[in-house]
């Protein structure tokens, strides 16, 4: 184990956010401020992830983390993906692109594992499943596994995880469930209590946390740290697209959907989500590749109705402040909230 969670100056972890928002500048700013920054390796080439890691290492000597998506299970029924593709022809036309080819790949799993080991990344977290015990044992890093149910927590600890990222249903982006077709739906506070009753490793709480009071709450609930994603998406260091930022700052509702990637994720309710949510099969990453050109084109145009606006349920409380300032502010407010509750 390369890092103890307890050694963090502030119990604040920046969640890895694939597809743009997570940047080396964001991760470095969070770590420099005394929190723990994270890179998202998903959807990137091995070379691009290596470049990100080197960029963080050039910006800070502090520990940071990299998140990997565990390989998907068996491929989905190609006919189901084909049927879904049929319902998306109008979208392809609207944005002037061809649908992507629905590959069932593993996002460079083996190569990225080698990379994080070679680069001596201090913390490696996994989402969408638990790596085999040999993989966990072989990594010199502190290994975190994302869980959404007490059963997943038990499996992750059995495989040797050093800490668990306990993801409540409030969280933005993908549900980190091991089984993509049966995503956990437990709210963060209930899940923390259930997981604490089941296992005895440090827990990192995530899902809908946007304020110092909420950080204080998960610490009081027994978590070792709070992990925040959406709360960092308006920071100048984040790579969040302008249309996405604008949606986050609104009071729009969020919903869980498979429409964009074939795996359940929480995003702000927009036209694409409303029109395709009911049709989308459980088929990740096939559907991710299928819809990628549409989403890229919509994002490029600034059309917030055509791409995934990942957001946690407290997104309206995100603030456009520098990441380091946000870490310090959250930590200070959390200390005040705990002192107030104790008085």
Contact residues for a copy of itself (CB under 8 A)? 150, 168-170, 186-194, 196-197, 207-211, 213-214, 216-222, 251, 312-314, 316-317, 335, 337-342
- Residue 313 CB, nearest approach to a copy of itself (Å): 4
- Residue 206 CB, nearest approach to a copy of itself (Å): 11
Check if the beta carbon of residue 25 is closer than 8 Å to that of residue 14. no
Q: Which CB atom, from 328 or from 335, has the smaller least distance to a copy of itself?
A: 335
* DSSP state for residue 121 in the 8-state scheme: -
- Residue 261 CB, nearest approach to a copy of itself (Å): 21
- Residue 61 CB, nearest approach to a copy of itself (Å): 28
Q: Which CB atom, from 131 or from 184, has the smaller least distance to a copy of itself?
A: 184
Environment class of 202 (CB within 10 Å of its CB; exposed 0-12, middle 13-18, buried 19+): middle
Number of C-alpha atoms within 13 angstroms, CB side, residue 328? Answer: 7
**How many Cβ atoms are within 10 Å of 200's Cβ, its own excluded?**
8
Q: How far apart are CA 230 and CA 209, in angstroms?
A: 8
Which strand (E) or helix (H) includes residue 299? helix 286-301
146 phi, psi to nearest 5 deg? -80, 130
- Residue 93 CB, nearest approach to a copy of itself (Å): 32
Q: Which CB atom, from 17 or from 219, has the smaller least distance to a copy of itself?
A: 219
Q: Which CB atom, from 117 or from 194, has the smaller least distance to a copy of itself?
A: 194
Check if the beta carbon of residue 226 is closer than 8 Å to that of residue 13. yes
What is the per-residue DSSP string for 2-59? ---GGG-SSSEEEPP-TTTT--HHHHHHHHHTTSBEEEE-TTS-HHHHHHHHHHHHHH
Q: Which CB atom, from 99 or from 153, has the smaller least distance to a copy of itself?
A: 153
Q: Which CB atom, from 35 or from 207, has the smaller least distance to a copy of itself?
A: 207
Q: Which CB atom, from 133 or from 158, has the smaller least distance to a copy of itself?
A: 158
- Residue 315 CB, nearest approach to a copy of itself (Å): 9
Check if the beta carbon of residue 223 is closer than 8 Å to that of residue 201. no
- Residue 156 CB, nearest approach to a copy of itself (Å): 17
List the structure tokens of 20.
């743009």
């Amino acid at each position: 184990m390369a890092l103890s969670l307890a050694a963090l100056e502030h119990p604040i972890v920046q969640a890895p956010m694939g597809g743009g928002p997570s940047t080396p500048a964001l991760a470095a700013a969070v770590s420099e401020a005394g929190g723990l920054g994270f890179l998202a390796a998903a959807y990137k080439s091995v070379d691009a992830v290596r470049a990100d890691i080197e960029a963080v290492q050039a910006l800070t000597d502090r520990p940071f983390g990299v998140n990997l998506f565990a390989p998907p299970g068996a491929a989905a029924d190609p006919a189901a993906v084909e049927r879904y593709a049929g319902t998306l022809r109008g979208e392809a036309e609207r944005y002037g692109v061809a649908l992507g080819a629905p590959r069932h790949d593993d996002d460079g799993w083996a190569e990225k594992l080698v990379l994080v080991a070679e680069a001596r990344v201090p913390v490696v977290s996994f989402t969408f499943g638990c790596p085999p015990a040999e993989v966990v044992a072989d990594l010199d890093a502190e290994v975190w596994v994302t869980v959404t149910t007490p059963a997943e927590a038990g499996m992750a600890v059995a495989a040797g995880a050093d800490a668990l990222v306990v993801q409540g249903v409030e969280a933005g982006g993908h549900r980190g469930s091991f089984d993509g077709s049966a995503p956990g739906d437990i709210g963060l506070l209930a899940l923390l209590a259930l997981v604490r009753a089941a296992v005895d490793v440090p827990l990192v709480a995530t899902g809908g946390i946007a304020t110092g009071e909420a950080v204080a709450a998960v610490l009081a609930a027994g978590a070792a740290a709070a992990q925040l994603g959406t709360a960092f998406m308006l920071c100048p260091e984040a790579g969040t697209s302008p249309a996405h930022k604008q949606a986050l700052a609104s009071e729009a509702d969020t919903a869980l959907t498979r429409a964009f990637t074939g795996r359940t994720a929480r995003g702000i309710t927009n036209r694409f989500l409303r029109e395709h949510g009911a049709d989308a099969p459980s088929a990740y990453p096939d559907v991710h590749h299928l819809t990628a050109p549409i989403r890229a084109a919509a994002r490029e145009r600034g059309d917030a109705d055509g791409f995934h606006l990942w957001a946690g349920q407290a997104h309206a409380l995100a603030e456009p402040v520098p990441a380091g300032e946000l870490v310090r502010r959250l930590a200070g407010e959390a200390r005040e909230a705990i002192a107030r509750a104790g008085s």
